[in-house]
Chains A and B, each alone.
Chain A
Amino acid sequence: MKIVTANDLKSGAVIWWTGVGWSLDVNEAADVGDDGAKVIAREEGAQNAVSAYVIDAEKDEQGVRPAHIKERIRAFGPTVRLDLTVKPADANAVNWVI
Chain B
Amino acid sequence: MYKYDEYDQQMVDTRVAEFRDQVRRRLAGELTEDQFKPLRLQNGLYLQLHAYMLRVAVPYGTMNSAQMKVLGDIADKYDRGYGHFTTRTNIQYNWIKLEDTPDALADLAKVEMHAIQTSGNCIRNISSDQYAGASADEVVDPRPYAELLRQWSSFHPEFLVLPRKFKIAVIASEIDRAAMRLHDIGINLVRNEAGEVGAEFYVGGGMGRTPFVAKKIKDFVPIDQMVTYAEACVRVYNRYGRRDNKYKARIKILVHELGLEAYSKEVDAEFAHLLSQPIEPPLAELERIQAMFFDPAFETGLSDELDLSDPDFRLWVERNTYAHKAPGYVIANVSLKPIGGIPGDATSDQIRLMADLAKDYSFDELRVTHAQNIVFPHVKKSDLYALWQKLEKADLSTPNLDTVGDIIACPGLDYCSLANARSIPVAQKISERFGSAERQAEIGELKLKISGCINACGHHHAGHIGILGVDKKGKENYQLLLGGSEGADTSLAKITGPGFDEDGVVDATEKAIDVYLANKQGDERFLDTYRRIGMAPFKEAIYG
Contact = CB atoms under 8 A, between A and B. Distances in A.
Nearest to B411: A78
B207 interface: no
15 contacts: A9-B26, A10-B97, A12-B51, A12-B98, A14-B49, A44-B33, A47-B29, A51-B33, A69-B474, A69-B475, A69-B476, A78-B414, A78-B415, A79-B425, A80-B342
Interface of B: 26-27, 29, 32-33, 47, 49-52, 80, 95-99, 342, 413-415, 419-420, 422, 424-425, 428, 474-476
A10, A13, A44: residue with the most chain B Cβ atoms closer than 10 Å:
A10
B52 A12 contact: yes
A72 B52 CA distance: 18
B50, B342, B424: residue with the most chain A Cβ atoms closer than 10 Å:
B50
Interface residues of A, number: 23
B47 A50 contact: yes
A7 B420 CA distance: 20
Give chain B's interface secondary structure class. mixed
Nearest to A46: B29
A2 interface: no
A73 B32 CA distance: 27
Contacts of A73: 49, 413-414, 422
A50 B80 CA distance: 22
A3 to B, nearest CB: 17
Contacts of A87: none
Nearest to A75: B50
Nearest to B36: A50
A80 B80 contact: no
A81 B342 CA distance: 9
A68 interface: yes
Nearest to A78: B414
A11 interface: yes
B50 A78 contact: yes
Nearest to B26: A9
A84 interface: yes
Given A79-B425, A81-B342, 19 more contacts: A9-B26, A9-B27, A9-B33, A9-B98, A11-B98, A11-B99, A44-B33, A47-B32, A50-B33, A67-B474, A69-B413, A69-B474, A70-B420, A74-B49, A74-B50, A77-B50, A78-B414, A78-B415, A84-B80
A6 to B, nearest CB: 10
Given A10-B27, A50-B33, A80 B425 contact: yes
Interface string A45-77: 001001100000000000000011110011001
